[in-house]
Structure 1
Amino acid sequence: MNDEKMTTREWLPLIGLTVSAFLVNTSEFIPVGLLTDIAKSLGVTEAKAGILITGYSWTVTLLSLPLMLVFSRMKPRKLLLLTLFVFSLGQFLSVIAPGYAFLMIARICVASSHCIFWSIASPLAVRVVSRKHRSLALSAIVTGTSIAMVAGMPLGRLIGLQIGWRMTFMCVASVAVLTLVYLTAVFPDLSSGAAFSVKNMPELLRNRRLMLIYVICALWATAYYTGYGYIEPFLRRVANLPDGTVTIVLMLFGGAGLVGSMLFYRFYDFHRHAFLCSTLALISAALLLLRVSASGAATVTGVCIAWGIAVLAFNVSFQSEVISCVKTSAASVATAVFSSVINLGIGAGTLFGGIVCTNAGIGSIGYAGSFFSVAALIICFFFLSASVPGENAEY
């Protein structure tokens, strides 16, 4: 761990990227916290409202790689600003959506910006700082994600419960515009670097470690959203928590991610394989204990806190794994595929969770999700080599 402080020139763009990460993930999580209210407002079932999450995720899955290949030659600064503009536009469209179909279109617009943002956010974060601060830069990006869960989604839920879910999207849109203006002023004009083309894909696909990482991430995301996609109605119906307590639990879930980010910064570089396996083991335990813990507010809160720590620690550590095992020129594309894989799992998990809710009952979502997380843990422990390639490794 390095104790040398970062310069203001490094901090300013990193802060902008962190706020952007907060906004993008707040927007992604909003339907989770307001699922019941959106469903009632639009006159649809909770399962159908959950398809907003599935549609968003699968849009990211399908478009992340194609969009990144199309825009890979664009200057990073210009691409980042364009991405935030499209993101803001999608939020405003969500505000004025007259019905379910229009809201789905608006969410697809936001998802398209999500595709690009999470393909470039981590690679840009490590480029705006010196090499010695790369772990801190990645940790900062994930901190934005964690704050989205601890403050963004619960705050959005509070706004939605008080003055309507549309105003939640309006608040996100307004802050996004301000962030766009800020980054226009402070983000450096980085070089595009060597463009990655379709011809380079076979080389990427032959990277065995990278392929294993993608399989593990797909299983993890499916496990995660089988449970988390329906955590709000689970806490209300199974754990019998009042609305205010549900909001507090969701805040604690997200806040726990800050601990996961800190653990990554302190321990990941020294115990990489053990750290990866530990995050999956903790996620599996949390899912298996979710139903049992619902007998009391304190126990279900404790399980959610442990779950939140593991989720964010997993996310940042596997992003780091992806970046570290590919060439610099392939980092954005490899991250785009990572984003696609994660969102494929999110969509599959949300869909599978809906099926579980309909057929086995919402109380079974933890057990169902644990099947995938245990599978991911087995692959990680036995097949993902403990030896790690060097930074930006050649194939």
Structure 2
Amino acid sequence: MTQSATDQNNRRSGDDDASTGPDGTSVDAPQHSALRGWLAVVGLALGVFSFVTTETLPIGLLPAIADGTSVSVGTAGFLVSGFAGVAALTAAPLTVLAGRVDRKWLLVGLMVVYIIGNLLAAAASGYALLLTARIIVALAHGVFWSIAVSIAVRLVPERHTVRATSLVLGGISLASITGTPLGTAVGQSAGWQVAFLCVGILGFLVLAATLLFMPALPARGSGSLSALPHVLRHRALRVAIGVTALIMSGHFLAFTYVTPYLEEVTGVRSSLIGVLLLVFGVAGLVGNFAAGALVGRNLRATLIGSTGLLSVVMVVMYAGGAGLPLAVTMLVCWGLLYAALPVALQTWVLRLVPEESEAASSLYVAAFNGAIGAGSFIGALIVDASGPRPTMLATAAFAFAAMLLAAVRGKR
């Protein structure tokens, strides 16, 4: 991706931090502005952590929420699947319609919506109000994911864009390690409303970081829904979205049911499941930052290698999952490989349509969130029919298909 010298300087600290010399050429921003840019990137990573924690928070609290709102556990589960569905359906149109809003103030608005939604959930005593609160947060969720990485790469020098991407997306793994488990623990000890209150308060920290460190970033989008068919004309982007849909559907197909797999196939005691999921999350955090270096060197090879190796890992889990040492080893490999994929896929999408990067990202986010629901649904059908073990083989097939699509059609 080639950029002019002016664009490089602007991205180094944000569009408003670049100054202009007497001859009209761009002058490097002072060092403190570069620091401010990285602090803003950290704020974005904290935002990712917040949104992922909020999205998955009900998973560990479904029985308590169901009991507290007088609904079935299945109905309570819609707080997760419905959240993902709303985010998938609204990410693209809302992001495009907000295409002319300064990115700093768009982030401020999204965090205000996030805070309101979570505080409303904390005050809810009935299911209808809780579901409404979740829908409010989901509307902000899709837009935030669509713009977070594209903003991050504008805040740092071009040579550090992949590093900024991996730092922002590191919030996913960090949420898996600390955010969701801590939220579950708080909800179980103090009540699920308190858990939502805590994530709402976390939103104030992200809002403060945005106001303090984020420079003004003029919008680059068209602000028109016509941007969506425009970006979809790019064959390579359609391939990238297809690869995203395949690999994320495959991942959530198996990962949603990893607990029954470990209990029924591997024979792990229920008291150890949390430890193994923590191990998975730590492996993911390591894989996320390792992917930053690999993607910077060879994006396509990283993507093809990660999906191909993931298919092998899942076959091994299907065939040898009854052995605890082998299953745990493969779980670690799964965490390492999966964490590399969002970094590679998001970087790929941003490089394909730089003139409408956020519209392209919104389609990626829609595919990602839609895959969560689709994969979980397919996994449920498999588990009900044959138990959790075949989900690993199904995931291997999805990963292999993603590898073939990336290798054959994803040359750009």
TM-score of the superposition, structure 1-length normalised? 0.88
Contact 2:121/2:134 (8 A) holds in 1: yes
Query: Are 1:273 and 2:285 counterparts?
Result: no
Equivalent-residue separation in structure 1 for 2:260 and 2:132 (angstroms): 25
Match of 2:279 among 246, 252, 256: 252
Matched-pair contact (CA < 8 Å) for 2:311–2:399: yes
Q: Which residue of 2 aligns with 1:110?
A: 137
| 8 A Cα contact 1:32 1:232, kept in partner | no
Q: Does 1:205 align with 2:232?
A: yes
Deviations 1:46-98 (A, max 9, x none): 55444333211111111011111221111111100111111122222332333
Q: Does 2:179 correspond to 1:178?
A: no
Q: Find out whether 1:319 has 2:364 as its counterpart.
A: no
Contact 1:27 1:172 in 2 (8 A): yes
Going from structure 1 to structure 2, the CA distance change for 1:96 and 1:236 (only over 3 Å counts) comes to farther
2: distance between equivalents of 1:83 and 1:125? 16
Q: Report the secondary structure of 1:10's partner residue.
A: helix
Q: State yes or no: 1:130 paired with 2:150.
A: no
Give the match for residue 5 of structure 2. none
Match of 2:41 in 1: 14
Unpaired segments ≥5 residues, structure 1? 389-395
CA deviation string 1:248-274 (max 9, x = no partner): 212221211222222222222222222
Q: Distance in 1 between matches of 2:338 and 2:350?
A: 19
Q: Is the 8 A contact 2:37 2:213 kept in 1?
A: no
- More divergent stretch after superposition (302-311 vs 28-37): 28-37
1:307 corresponds to which letter in structure 2? Answer: W
- Would the aligned equivalents of 1:154 and 1:250 in 2 still touch at CA under 8 Å? no
What percentage of residue pairs aligned between the two structures are identical? 29
Higher deviation after alignment, 15-24 or 157-166: 157-166
Aligned residues of 2:96 and 2:227 also touching (Cα < 8 A): no
What do you get for the CA RMSD once the two structures are aligned? 2.4
Contact 1:280/1:376 (<8 A) preserved: yes
Query: Which residue matches 1:215?
Result: 242
**C-alpha contact (below 8 Å) 2:93/2:225 kept by paired residues:** no
CA shift for structure 1 position 243? 4.5
So what's the TM-score if we normalise by structure 2?
Answer: 0.85
Cα distance in 2 for residues equivalent to 1:352 and 1:42: 28
Q: What are the within-5 Å matches in structure 2 for residues 4-43 of structure 1? A: 7-35=34-62, 38=65
Q: Choose 182-191 or 217-226, whichever is displaced more.
A: 182-191
Moved more, 26-35 or 372-381: 26-35
Q: Which of 87, 90, 112 in structure 2 is aligned with 1:63?
A: 90
SS of alignment partner, residue 226 of structure 2: helix
**More off after superposition, 237-246 vs 147-156:** 237-246
Query: What displacement does 1:331 show?
Result: 0.6
Of 175-184 and 197-206, more deviation after overlay is shown by: 197-206
Distance of 2:386 and 2:70 partners within structure 1: 24
Residue 296 of structure 2 aligns to a residue whose secondary structure is: coil
Letter in structure 2 aligned against 1:105: T
Distance between the aligned counterparts of 2:256 and 2:190, measured in 1?
23
Alpha-carbon displacement from aligned partner over 1:162-185 (angstroms, at most 9, x marks no partner) = 334433322211111122123212
The separation in 1 between residues aligned to 2:327 and 2:61, in whole angstroms, is 20
Partner of 1:357: 383
Question: What are the superposed Cα offsets for residues 208-234 of structure 1, whole Å, 9 maximum, x if unpaired?
Answer: 110000111111111111112233444
Counterpart of 1:392 in structure 2 is: none
Following the alignment from structure 1 to structure 2, what is the Cα–Cα distance between the partners of residues 208 and 140?
Answer: 29
Choose which of 121, 136, 139 in structure 1 pairs with 2:148.
Answer: 121
Q: Distance in 2 between matches of 1:49 and 1:294?
A: 31
Q: In the alignment, which residue of structure 1 is the partner of 2:182?
A: 155
Of stretches 207-216 and 304-313 in structure 1, the one that deviates more from structure 2 is 304-313
| Counterpart residue identity of residue 334, structure 1 | A
Q: CA deviation at 1:161?
A: 3.5
Paired positions, count: 382
Is 1:383 the equivalent of 2:409?
A: yes
Whether the 8 Å contact between 2:147 and 2:361 is mirrored in structure 1 is: yes
Shift of the 257–197 alpha-carbon distance from structure 1 to 2, 3 Å rule, reads same
Q: Which amino acid aligns with 1:28?
A: E
Structure 1 residues 306, 230: closer, same or farther in 2, change over 3 A?
A: same
Larger Rg: 2
Q: Match of 1:17, as an amino acid?
A: L
Matched with 1:191 is 218
**Structure 2 unaligned residues grouped into runs of 5+:** 1-11, 13-30
Report Cα offsets for 1:337-382 as digits up to 9, x if no partner: 1000111111111222222232322343323333322221221122
Taking the aligned partners of 1:167 and 1:237, their CA distance within structure 2 comes to: 33
